[in-house]
Amino acid sequence: MQPAAPETGRADAGSRLTRPDISRWVFLTATVGHDPVEEGVDRKFSVDAPGRILVTRMEPGAYDYFMMYGQYADGTTFAVRFHDPLVNPDPEMDGLVLGDTAFLFVHRLERGEHGWEHAFYAFGNGEDTAKRLPDDAPCLACHTKRGKLHGTFVQFFAPLRERLQAVAADKQAAVEAVRTMFDALSDRDMARYRSVMAPGFYAFDMGKRMTADELTEVVEDAREAGMNFDWKVTEPKVRVQGPMAWVTYVNRGAMQRGDNRQALTWLESAVLRKDAGAWRIQFLHSTPMAEE
């Protein structure tokens, strides 16, 4: 199922944004006394003066998109409510309790001609619209310098941070599946070879369409003719979207016949699908690299 697109609209022609209803937005994190600290200045926190409590939420459609694809959708919007701690809570308790909202801070990401653009809006209490903050506002410089993903503090958002970690692991596993295919072919380990091949696999190679079995037959026929191959997956680039992964790489290897060894390079791509927690290759394309 495709995730919903972000719902928060763009600002109007006057660069004003209507205050969003964030009551059903997805909770990301809450931080206490999380004020920016200048470089070279020690961090300070006092229970007597803890500063404000920040509660960050994310627009649901943008959250679903990130969970599916591991990246931001155009128009992704975050909302940060700044709360003062409640004074003299009844009953008294250890820790801090959310008090009144001081203001609402909205951060919107939009794809521009030269990459991600940031729009920041600060809504005071009772304000239904807010004007976009100027580009020289301190918040933009802080986000750009310290935000770990496209100028956002994803390092503080546990659900997004964990999703990024899962995407990184998926990327590595997808590349290892491709390497396993070549290693298994080299070792004539057909059980291991089939473990990474998806049902219905096919390849475009040597100007032909081949199934998984036909691909192994080509390799075995070459061996019977006295040829052996080496394959090495290098420079992999991976994109993961949900249960699908696309891997492009440079296959640097060689063909050897007797004492004659010829270095060969192929430009290749593979499409993989995650099935029962394992990445399996659905499609493979290979073309010899042109001589320089």
pLDDT digit string (tens) for 97-111? 888 899 999 999 999
Asked if residue 12 has pLDDT above 90, the reply is: no
Q: Residue 221 is inside which H or E element, if any?
A: helix 212-224
Q: Could you tell me where in the chain the CATH 3.50.70.20 domains are found?
A: 16-156
Q: What is the CATH number of domain 16-156?
A: 3.50.70.20
Mean confidence (pLDDT) of the chain: 90
Give the start-end residues of each E strand in the chain. 16-18, 26-32, 53-58, 77-85, 98-112, 115-124, 129-131, 197-205, 208-211, 227-230, 233-241, 244-257, 260-275, 278-288
- Per-residue pLDDT, 59: 97
Asked if residue 212 has pLDDT above 70, the reply is: yes
- Round to whole Å and give the CA distance between 154 and 169: 17
3-state secondary structure of 88: coil
Q: Are 64 and 8 contacting, i.e. CB atoms less than 8 angstroms apart?
A: no
Tokens, residue 15: 């660069």
- Per-residue pLDDT, 150: 94
- Round to whole Å and give the CA distance between 175 and 173: 5
Nearest CA among 215, 218, 229, 236 for reference residue 262: 229
Asked if residue 1 has pLDDT above 60, the reply is: no
Of 174-178, 200-204, 252-256, the range with the lowest mean pLDDT is 252-256
Asked if residue 40 has pLDDT above 80, the reply is: no
Q: Could you tell me where in the chain the CATH 3.10.450.50 domains are found?
A: 168-288
- Per-residue pLDDT, 90: 85
For the chain, counts of helices (H) and of strands (E): 5, 14
Q: Which fold has domain 168-288?
A: Nuclear Transport Factor 2; Chain: A, (3.10.450)
Q: Are 284 and 185 contacting, i.e. CB atoms less than 8 angstroms apart?
A: no
